[in-house]
Amino acid sequence: MSAALAATADDRIVFDLTGIEERYESLLRELPGVAVRFAMKACPVDEVLARLAGAGAGVDAASVPEMEQALRAGVPIGRVHYGNTVKSDRNIADAHRLGIRDFATDSLEDVAAIAEHAPGARVFCRLSTDTRGALWELSGKYGCSTADAVTILETARKLGLVPSGLSVHVGSQQMTPEAWRDAFERLADVLAALDRRGIALDHINLGGGLPVPGYLDKHGRPLDPPIDKLFAVIREGMAHLRTIGGHHLGFVVEPGRYLVAGQGAIRAHVSRLSARQGPDGRRQYWLYLSCGKFNGLYEMDELQYPLVFPTHGGPGTRHVPAVVAGPTCDSDDAYSHEDGLVQVPEALASGDPVWVLSCGAYAISYTTQGFNGFGPLPYTCIDGGATGGSGKTGGG
């Protein structure tokens, strides 16, 4: 990756396709037999989708345009499911016409719409879960109670649909084993209740949320998720669910961040390192980069990305604490001023290159179409990891 960044003269995101495939293979070693449906919202790049599809993955799609992109990239239709519980009648009908047969749901109203516009489809019901411990909690908008889930799947059967599964999502960058334990307890309760009603499911979708190392927290400290403990809890929970009733369960996971975050980096440049008197009367440094919250670094509200300054360093380099900010006129386009100071070389000059690491997740999908005139970054996909290798370039 570093070789590719060094060889790149302009601002762009670089994705390591080899590294992404290796992450996919490592996930299968941790969770043998689990089907992977890549949460393509994390990195909707054709080359990434094609590489994962070639390795055997499918996709979790949240809209018809995502489904169409996945199919164009070579993902087989049988490995694409409609993972969004928020969808209109037209969305459902369009997906069904494409050949989608697996739909997420979490309400009776949605089930009725699926029965009307996608007759005979398979539905899996999303449960609400405790997402505390995640960097981004995903509670509230999605998921139903365990009691509602039983009613929803019973209704699905009455309406001619196939009640096929349950799903959960423990929050994005979930750092605690307890969240997974809670999710498995809720799943077990629903499986037992469904078994008593003669409904046998064929899969459990464990969603996303698997955390990755490489980020810094708001204070600049490394985020070090207990990934081995998390995988152990997941394997234990899967084994327990397989013992419940007459279900014949397979398992699905929807990783996004886990596969791509550490396999993407941005080659940007310094716009300016400046200093002025702050509200407390002390001198305050600001490092303005050529990219920020609206064109690549959207998640800077909750974390810091590691920065590398390849033309500065070594013994005697003097550093100063600075607020790191993007180029736009929006005051939110910066790390937190209170606790987000970053040590940067004092000698930085306009035009100096900077590498922003661990930004392969959501760097493409969250960018705006030119806020303040600063357009989305183009991207390059490389084959060969740190050694460089061949590459493909795409627009932002």
Q: Annotated catalytic residue: which of 125, 144, 291, 329?
A: 329
Number of domains in the chain: 2
Q: What range does the domain containing 40 cover? A: 31-255
Same domain? 200 vs 337: no
Same domain? 142 vs 279: no
| pLDDT, tens only, 304-328 | 999 999 999 888 999 999 999 999 9
- Domain assignment present for residue 13? The answer is no
CATH of the domain at 313: 2.40.37.10
Same domain? 105 vs 186: yes
Same domain? 234 vs 266: no
Active site residue 125: no
CATH of the domain at 109: 3.20.20.10
pLDDT surpassing 80 at residue 347: yes
Same domain? 239 vs 113: yes
The rounded distance, in Å, linking the Cα atoms of 121 and 115 is: 7
pTM to 2 decimal places: 0.94
What is each CA distance from 351 to 3, 117, 271, 322, 354, in whole angstroms?
19, 55, 6, 17, 9
List Cβ neighbours of 161 (8 Å cut-off, separation of 6 or more). Answer: 111, 114, 115, 119, 120, 121, 122, 123
Same domain? 47 vs 191: yes
Q: Domain boundary at 198, 221, 255, which?
A: 255
Same domain? 217 vs 290: no
| pLDDT, tens only, 113-152 | 999 999 999 999 999 998 899 988 877 789 999 999 999 9
Same domain? 192 vs 282: no
The answer to whether 244 and 292 are in contact (CB under 8 A) is: no
Same domain? 239 vs 139: yes
Q: Which helix (H) or strand (E) holds 259?
A: helix 257-260
Q: Domain boundary at 231, 255, 279, which?
A: 255
Same domain? 126 vs 243: yes
Same domain? 201 vs 82: yes
| pLDDT, tens only, 44-72 | 999 999 999 999 999 999 999 999 999 99
